[in-house]
Amino acid sequence: MKTLFKCCHAFLLCTTLTVFASPAEDLGQFRAYFKDKFPSVPFNEFNNGVYAINEDARIAWQDIEEFPPYEEAILNGKALFETSFTNGRNYGNCFENNGVGVSQNYPYWDRARQQVITLALALNLCREESGIPALKYTEAKLTSILAYMVYTSREMKTNARIPTNDKKALESYKKGKKFYYQRRGQLNFSCATCHIQNSGRRIRSETLSPSLGHTTGWPVYRAKWGSVGTLHRRFIGCSKQMRAKEYKLQSEEYRNLEYFLTYMSNGLPINGPSYRK
């Protein structure tokens, strides 16, 4: 009966989040679902992904964090972040607080540009404003700068904002939400299939992580990649696994998806960069 209740709860969550609820209502239902599904996990622990719900994986992860493989990226990112452009400016000039401790506020809705601005996009907009070519979103320089900026926001609470009085902003949020729950690809899966309905269950040798907290640790060093990578790179990987259409890094589709997912993690501490398998 308890399992049946949880299955019904998951179905109702997916249905109401997709169709009826406001962002604030979405957030409340989202948290309530995972609190019910993982009652022994404190809210702030969800920023650790699968390591919050799998004790064996957590022990191995804690050992790795003693000498984190992303440390070099932070150091390189700091040096790149502080290096002056040819016009004498640097990245810090493009952000509040000189770019330190601001990543918890990304992505955000830019009313002037009428689009969601992620931290990665903001870095390239900064370069373009200084007359410097944009970095490729797969480039180590960009992921290293992201790693440093996110590191300066550690323990600050995720603070994505949806201006509900702005129809375009709300539309972008809803598009991201729809993307998350919409089944696609040859396997007919959605993001929610794995990370809401089946979170905590095993697929082959891996435990499926809960959606709550999914955005707090990026960029991450993945053992599978052997390098630090971005959240959008992971979106592409998931699309491949579902045999679904892939979108470009920092496409509108993925930025809207990040907007929705980040809002769903509001209030959780930033703990990136981090390590994942």
- Measure the CA–CA gap between 181 and 93, rounded to whole angstroms: 38
Instruction: Judge whether residue 205 has pLDDT over 60.
Output: yes
Residue 158 in any domain: the answer is no
Residue-level pLDDT at 5 = 41
Q: Give the Cα-Cα-Cα angle 13, 37, 229 (nearest 5 degrees).
A: 80
Range of the domain at 136: 71-151
Assess whether 110 and 171 both reside in one domain.
no
Residue-level pLDDT at 58 = 96
Residue 157 in any domain: the answer is no
Q: pLDDT exceeding 70 applies to what percent of the chain?
A: 93
CATH number where 37 lies: 1.10.760.10
Instruction: Judge whether residue 255 has pLDDT over 70.
Output: yes
Q: How many domains does the chain have?
A: 2
Instruction: Judge whether residue 11 has pLDDT over 70.
Output: no
* Mean pLDDT within 218-231: 97
Residue-level pLDDT at 8 = 43
Looking at 7, 14, 194, 238, which residue is catalytic? Answer: 238
Residue 94 in any domain: the answer is yes
Question: Strand locations in 83-205, DSSP E?
Answer: 108-110, 115-117, 202-203
Residue-level pLDDT at 35 = 97
Q: Which residues contact 238 (CB under 8 A, 6 or more apart)?
A: 191
Active site residue 8: no
Assess whether 78 and 25 both reside in one domain.
no
Assess whether 47 and 177 both reside in one domain.
yes
Residue-level pLDDT at 19 = 61
Assess whether 227 and 116 both reside in one domain.
no
CA-based nearest residue to 68, from 192, 177, 261, 228: 228
Residue 178 in any domain: the answer is yes
Instruction: Judge whether residue 17 has pLDDT over 80.
Output: no
Residue-level pLDDT at 13 = 58
Assess whether 178 and 270 both reside in one domain.
yes
Assess whether 114 and 12 both reside in one domain.
no
Instruction: Judge whether residue 3 has pLDDT over 50.
Output: no
Residue 161 in any domain: the answer is no
Assess whether 77 and 62 both reside in one domain.
no
Q: Is the CB of residue 156 less than 8 Å from the CB of residue 101? A: yes
pLDDT band at 203 (very low <50, low <70, confident <90, very high): confident
Q: Which residues contact 257 (CB under 8 A, 6 or more apart)?
A: 176, 179, 180, 191, 235
Choosing from 94, 126, 151, the residue where a domain stops is 151
Choosing from 123, 151, 179, the residue where a domain stops is 151
Residue 160 in any domain: the answer is no
Assess whether 53 and 78 both reside in one domain.
no
Assess whether 176 and 46 both reside in one domain.
yes
CA-CA-CA-CA dihedral for 245, 247, 252, 256, to nearest 10: 60
Assess whether 182 and 267 both reside in one domain.
yes
Instruction: Judge whether residue 264 has pLDDT over 60.
Output: yes
Choosing from 151, 180, 206, the residue where a domain stops is 151
Residue 254 in any domain: the answer is yes
Assess whether 222 and 129 both reside in one domain.
no
Q: Which residues contact 28 (CB under 8 A, 6 or more apart)?
A: none
Residue 159 in any domain: the answer is no
User: What is the per-residue pLDDT across 158-178, written as a single tens digit (0 to 9) for each?
Assistant: 999 999 899 999 999 999 999
Assess whether 62 and 84 both reside in one domain.
no
Rounded to a whole number, what is the distance in angstroms from the first to the last CA of the chain? 34
* Mean pLDDT within 75-82: 98
Q: Give the Cα-Cα-Cα angle 157, 163, 169 (nearest 5 degrees).
A: 110
pTM for the whole structure = 0.93
Give the dihedral sign, CA 116/122/127/129: positive
